[in-house]
Structure 1
Amino acid sequence: MAFGLPHGDNVNPFFSVVTDGNAWTARQRAVALTAQLSEWSAVGELTSKAAGRHFNNISATHGERLRGTFNALTGLVAEITKPKSSPFSLLGDARAYATDRAQRAILMADVLRERGDNFFAHEAAGCPPVLIYDYEVVVDGRKLERPCNYMLLKITPPEGVEVFAWKRPYVIIDPRAGHGAGIGGFKADSQVGVALKGGHPVYFTAFWREPEPGQTLADVARAEAVFVRHVQAEHPDAPKPVVIGNCQGGWATLVLGASHPDITGPLVLNGAPVETWSGDVGSNPMRYNAGLLGGQVQPMFWADYGDGVFDGAWLVLNFEMLNPGRTWFRKYYDVFERVDTERGRFLEFEKWWSGFFLLNEPEIVWIVRELFVGNKLARNEARLEHGRVLDIKQIRSPIIVFASHGDNITPVKQALNWIMDTYADETEIKIRGQRIVYMVHESIGHLGIFVSSSIAKREHQEVASTLKTIEALAPGLYEMVIEDVAGEGHSKHFTVSFAERRISDLPGYGDGRQDELPFGAVERSSELQGELYDIFVRPFVQASVTRASAELGRQFHPLRLQRALFSSRNPQCSVLPAAAEATARARAAVAEDNPFVLAEKLLADAFEQSFDIVRDLRDAWYEMTFYSIYATPQMRWFGRNFNFERTRKSKEELVALPEVQSALLHVASGGFVEAVIRMLILLAEARGTVRRDRLERSARVLTKDEPFRSLRTEQRAQIIHEQSLIVEYAGAAALETLPLLLRTPEERRRAAEVVQYVPGVLSDMEPRTLAMLQRFRQLLDLPPATMDVLDDPLSALTQAAQ
């Protein structure tokens, strides 16, 4: 009898060993052995690839830094050994250095004391948002039918800034990932400031520190839907609100759009970790946490330890451990170096960073199970609650995604790969009538995406000024490209274009996704561990915890204890305010070229680099250990039903979808509106890229001119969707039937002029665009275009109608 089975995804590799030589032929045994060796070689390939990239990075990065340190050390030695130097001058330098550093130490200690005092004052006040703008609470989530700790704030414009009720309102959703709300409006140049400067009303979703009893993510999603409906009611003459989600607020924005697709305008996702299994081999170690730290068992245990409440300080500690050299040393040394000028900036940021928020156990477990371990939102398998599956494909609003290669918390692939998992291909995006626009920056960091940064400011300004035109795009996948063209500083002007893309054009598509297969085993392991913990361990943990012990445990969390020890609650810190005041009066800063200052900076750089070397070696070990465990054939089999692969529809199956068949029935139906929209889509198909100036002219025609102006937004979107499907699946018929839609010579002439007005001057058009324009005119029995159409042909008719 043979226990061995033909090798494949449904065969347990533990038992794929033949015990009866007659069961398999030699050829079958050879094939099975080859498959086994191939899978094991894949393990070696992943681990060696990870090791190679890590150690190449360590060698290149730290080699360069060591060379810089050596050069600085050589310069220091040369400075000390100059002929003019003497023991007496060095003694004077030493005295000045010692005085300066003693003064800085007192001032720095007082800064840390004030941070600790601010921490306790902020918690006592309930950790309100750290917005720099005034605001009023317009909807309190605690008073809703299903209460939650969220609230909707209306931002009060600062003096000199005017907003208009008829302009599209902005609703900003900040992340609830351990910290409090307000980072999206933390600086004048952040999202709130950019929107206010454009005259848009701005609303902000914030939250109190403690969740409501029994609160779930479904309650939060319902509350956010109530907030958006409230904003719509407050601005009936404005387009639907644009909803901006920062970091984890990004996937919350997708949840809102998928569960309530009728209420939102464009959705903007900034550094949002949606496809959490994705990343680059050799970097992004955070994605391996679930496999090596226990998956959903961790939040289950810490929530039980907190009497049913999970402490967000653990999430903040995870963020700090990503770059300990920066968070545990360099940021403090930078303040120490510039203590005379950096006090305010440091305390301002730490007020937000030190605001530790709480989540109910069902909330944090849902986030870990459905997103960070299960990766289910991208696969359209996440359940917001029992019987309610979230399907991103139900979203009808444009989706704008902003990612950056400099973001070490949300890598580019985590921000974008959900597109290829959610949709079969770019054709399905068109069939669904969706517009997905993405931007990728080369260097901006995670917080810089939505805090204060000249780079982020540029992106936010362009998104803000372009949202009104994105809805005029035909359904599809686009990359938004921002180019610097003229001017400097605040006067710099940018050209924006929208390049139509395929899913295969997404960054990282060509890298393959074999590195994600092991996460299927992680998901299944997490679920099993969660079940075992729930049955055998949880009763004992819960029985040993009281509300008082949970609160005591939170107070002794390392991050809270650190702030408590350096606060006025510590009697030893009581002398610091007076000492700091006296020190500030007697302050005498040391010269920057003091050799002892230069030596200190060298030591600081070396100390930080030692942290970084340990971090990089830790990350290398972390990744290789992960793949050594979860990339094995046994674990691949264990998680075979939990991978990211999905059945792809063929083109024939897509054509058979009801949306396509309904559109094709109307290929010869319609009038002036349908004809012009169809022709504009055919033009866009011909050139492949849409510059913003052309898109703005298109948006003007479709939203400001009659007969388009009288259409409701939903009607216009439906016509664009239908005509896009006709162009996609019946391109020849879409052209040939144009004369049936434009019946009179006047309609044909006006339609041809409108379509020529959008791309602009004839001499600037690409050959394919010009050829398509001439083809339109030929079909409509019009002479070839020889004169430019520079003025909107419909503006006079629109003014006459008014």
Structure 2
Amino acid sequence: MYWWSAVGDYYWSYYRDACERSLLYLDVLRRRGEDYREQSAKAAPHVLSFDFVVLVDGRMLPRPVNYGLLRIIPPPEVETDPGKRPFIVFDPRAGHGPGIGGMKHDSEIGVALGAGHPCYFVGFLPQPVAGQTIEDVCRAEAYFVRFVADRHREADGKPALIGNCQAGWQILMMAAMEPELAGPILVAGTPLSYWAGVRGIYPMRYLGGLLGGGWLTWLMGDIGNGIFDGAWLISNFESNNPANTLWKKPYNVYANVDTEAKRFLDFEKWWGNPILLDAGEMRFIVDELFIGNRLAAAKIATHDGERIDLRKVKSPIIVFCSFGDDITPPQQALDWILDLYEDVDAIVANGQTIIYSLHQNIGHLGIFVSARVATKEHAEFVFNIDLVDVMPSGLYEIILTRADGAEANPQLISGDYIAKLEPRTLDDIRALGGNDAADERRFETAARVSEINRELYRAFLQPWVKALVDPAMAEFLRQLHPNRVMFRVFSDSNPLMAPVAKAAETIRGDRHPVEAVNPFLALEKMASTSIVVNLEIFAKAREAVTEAIFLDVYGSPLLQAVVGVGSSQPRAARASRGDIDLEAAHAQALADMTRGGFIEAGMRALLYVLASGGADERQFNALEALRNAVPEAARPPLSKIREIIRRQAELLRADETKAVAAIAEILPEDSGRRAEILSAIYRVVSGDGEPDAGEMEKFREISRLFLGKASPAELHDRQEA
């Protein structure tokens, strides 16, 4: 056999497979187009994989919005406990349709149901209610949370909220308006400090400045006759990663068309069906948040003058972000803390608990779409939601370590990982990188230029645009968006696609996949890699040019002077800390030192021994086991435990020496009861393993207060007994 015969065989095998893949790929595009047409025809399209019941239609509220509250029906094999706190998942309205938080069973909804929690979902319709505002949506979401809380009055804890991307900042605004309403709040991939970032990466923060500010958003809203087309938001996401949009994603489907079609179509059903926003909503998002950065500065007010200040949020806040997220990098997710607080003492004085989790590489969508992330990070957040709820005020990072069975007290571990909350300072957030004073002035200048251009547009162009555009023209222009055109072209509405479905079915019945060792397939993959590399080089070059233009233009002293940004102007000034009166709080703490009973005494002693300020889930689960051992009639609810822990932590911070000495005054007289409390404290302290030397020294001190004398060995014997 001659070598050219082998080459010919290889080529024929590859050529036949390539032709078959091409036609099968064309059929995948056709099916995507049909999915688009089907979803577009629905009044309430979604991609939820769970059954549900609509409880509240936001269009029926006094200030109507296109949002709704759904109760998720658990799968038959899943049982939920009505005594557990409910979870409410809020879906992001950022151009795409609803359902991403529950598109798979391994999802935020799935892990909450799997842990036995009743689960609810807040979604939206593709068409906004005319004139609805962001504030209206926040008010509606507050109504939804109150509605769920009323349904679960016997639950041990207020509803826990999960907000993805855009939904995250929206529910935090709601929580600032209604501080006592919700339990712990998890925001995933949520931007809150919109100017923040690191040079050389995360270029999206510069786009508003390069386009001259928010006037284009006003223009697009007017072209839409009061409606902003979410398809433009999707296009903006896609343009951020040309290598993936133009090649990697489509090539992956083409190269693996026999196995990737379903996953691709499931995702595209959500990604490829844009929704609409009221033009006023989009203007608020761009002007107040992305360009104005007014949320982190506490400069946004409701229509009745109430300031929306994230420091008013009384619920524990969990911020989940990733270094691999180029849409919401860690700086944009976390630097609002630097904007609002001088140090951790200020966070503590304000009574706020902030916890963050840093993923090393997952991308923006993966934070709330990836099954791997759902079954690790989101599952651990759910398992430890009560621990989060009772943590004393302060700043913490949640660290997850895989459990291998060799740890102390494995029976106290809820899932596959051990969650530990480590105390952090603002320097830990600063260490992630961020803007300097010169960068802050550049963004302030861009915001001022945006305001000027917006007013120029409103004065000179807006009247003409509004006069030219009517509802019919606006709808016609929306249908001309490239994404919609592409989906319709590759659908059965195009007569040229008529033979594709039948031909694809024939090929699937007699498929001839190429062997993996085929040299022509290797050449194809090499060519694909080369295309990706070149597109990534182009993207990096574009990002570098974008950054350089922004820094040069808005760093100009002349432009800054013209718009009123002084060269000596400091970083955006922190807003006042509000009504925090440290002296009055200190005086009240001293007065409360000798108030309370055995629970207060035990909690104060426990917090004193665990002076590092962190917490391991095993310690909390040991505490929970002790609480559950108390007869139900006498068992303190979790909300009471939270209140006691926070108050005792405040007393220790006010004057640790006096607070510890006062423990003896509030202990019960019964020595046997004291011994039980002390044994319980030791059990919790040793939940994550043997106490260290510092903890043991403090424990001995506490033992003398409780019993006059007690050795760790004696307490261990009591615990075993």
Normalising TM by the smaller chain, what interval?
over 0.9
Structure-1 residue corresponding to 2:355: 437
Query: Is the alpha carbon distance of 1:642 and 1:231 closer, same or farther for their aligned partners in structure 2, counting shifts above 3 Å?
Result: farther
Matched, 1:646 2:574: yes
Q: Residues 393 and 432 of structure 1 are in contact (CA less than 8 Å); yes or no, is this contact kept in structure 2?
A: yes
Matched, 1:678 2:604: yes
Query: Is the alpha carbon distance of 1:761 and 1:533 closer, same or farther for their aligned partners in structure 2, counting shifts above 3 Å?
Result: closer
Aligned equivalents of 1:753, 1:573: Cα separation in 2: 75
Aligned equivalents of 1:345, 1:604: Cα separation in 2: 21
* 2:661 partner letter: E
Q: Residues 391 and 646 of structure 2 are in contact (CA less than 8 Å); yes or no, is this contact kept in structure 1?
A: no
Aligned equivalents of 2:23, 2:477: Cα separation in 1: 31
Choose 1 or 2 for highest CA Rg: 1
Matched, 1:738 2:681: no
Structure-1 residue corresponding to 2:467: 543
Structure-1 residue corresponding to 2:496: 572
Structure-2 residue corresponding to 1:23: none
Query: Is the alpha carbon distance of 1:246 and 1:757 closer, same or farther for their aligned partners in structure 2, counting shifts above 3 Å?
Result: same
Structure-2 residue corresponding to 1:186: 103
For residue 614 of structure 2, the aligned residue among 689, 707, 711 is: 689
Query: Is the alpha carbon distance of 1:360 and 1:679 closer, same or farther for their aligned partners in structure 2, counting shifts above 3 Å?
Result: same
Deviation at 1:702, TM superposition (A): 5.7
Alignment of 1:13-24 (within 5 A): none
Structure-2 residue corresponding to 1:529: 453
Identity of aligned residues (%): 37
Alignment of 1:225-240 (within 5 A): 225-238=142-155, 239-240=157-158
Aligned equivalents of 2:380, 2:208: Cα separation in 1: 37
Deviation at 1:579, TM superposition (A): 1.7
Aligned equivalents of 1:762, 1:352: Cα separation in 2: 43
* 1:624 partner letter: A
Gaps of 5+ in 1: 1-83, 797-802
SS in 2 for 1:205: strand
Structure-1 residue corresponding to 2:482: 558
Matched, 1:117 2:34: yes
Matched, 1:478 2:382: no
Deviation at 1:347, TM superposition (A): 0.9
Structure-2 residue corresponding to 1:260: 178
Matched, 1:503 2:426: yes
Deviation at 1:738, TM superposition (A): 2.1
* 1:670 partner letter: G
* 1:736 partner letter: A
For residue 100 of structure 1, the aligned residue among 2, 9, 17 is: 17
* 2:397 partner letter: E
Structure-2 residue corresponding to 1:603: 527
Counting matched residue pairs gives 708
Structure-2 residue corresponding to 1:51: none
Q: Residues 655 and 729 of structure 1 are in contact (CA less than 8 Å); yes or no, is this contact kept in structure 2?
A: no
Q: Residues 59 and 65 of structure 2 are in contact (CA less than 8 Å); yes or no, is this contact kept in structure 1?
A: yes
Deviation at 1:712, TM superposition (A): 5.4
Matched, 1:630 2:547: no
Matched, 1:143 2:60: yes
Does 579-588 or 476-485 show the bigger shift? 579-588
SS in 1 for 2:370: coil
SS in 2 for 1:283: coil
Q: Residues 439 and 479 of structure 1 are in contact (CA less than 8 Å); yes or no, is this contact kept in structure 2?
A: yes
Structure-1 residue corresponding to 2:444: 520
Q: When the two structures are superposed, what TM-score results if normalisation uses the length of structure 1? A: 0.84
Aligned equivalents of 1:85, 1:274: Cα separation in 2: 67
Q: When the two structures are superposed, what TM-score results if normalisation uses the length of structure 2? A: 0.93
Aligned equivalents of 2:436, 2:590: Cα separation in 1: 36
Aligned equivalents of 1:436, 1:762: Cα separation in 2: 23
Deviation at 1:287, TM superposition (A): 0.7
Gaps of 5+ in 2: 407-412
* 1:377 partner letter: L
Query: Is the alpha carbon distance of 1:520 and 1:669 closer, same or farther for their aligned partners in structure 2, counting shifts above 3 Å?
Result: same
SS in 2 for 1:154: strand
Aligned equivalents of 1:85, 1:573: Cα separation in 2: 42
Q: Residues 163-222 of structure 1: CA distance to partner in whole angstroms, max 9, x if unpaired?
A: 122221110011100001111111121111111111111111110000001111111111
* 2:210 partner letter: L
Matched, 1:378 2:301: no
Matched, 1:764 2:690: yes
Deviation at 1:418, TM superposition (A): 1.3
For residue 85 of structure 2, the aligned residue among 155, 168, 173 is: 168
SS in 1 for 2:387: helix
Aligned equivalents of 2:687, 2:716: Cα separation in 1: 7
SS in 1 for 2:199: coil
Aligned equivalents of 2:267, 2:12: Cα separation in 1: 34
Q: Residues 113 and 573 of structure 1 are in contact (CA less than 8 Å); yes or no, is this contact kept in structure 2?
A: yes
Deviation at 1:346, TM superposition (A): 1.0
Query: Is the alpha carbon distance of 1:788 and 1:520 closer, same or farther for their aligned partners in structure 2, counting shifts above 3 Å?
Result: farther
Deviation at 1:372, TM superposition (A): 0.8
SS in 2 for 1:153: strand
Aligned equivalents of 1:507, 1:203: Cα separation in 2: 36
Query: Is the alpha carbon distance of 1:609 and 1:134 closer, same or farther for their aligned partners in structure 2, counting shifts above 3 Å?
Result: same
Calculate the aligned-residue CA RMSD, in Å: 2.7
Does 102-111 or 446-455 show the bigger shift? 446-455
SS in 2 for 1:439: strand
Aligned equivalents of 1:704, 1:172: Cα separation in 2: 32
Q: Residues 242-275 of structure 1: CA distance to partner in whole angstroms, max 9, x if unpaired?
A: 0001111111121121111122111011111111
Alignment of 1:288-437 (within 5 A): 288-437=206-355
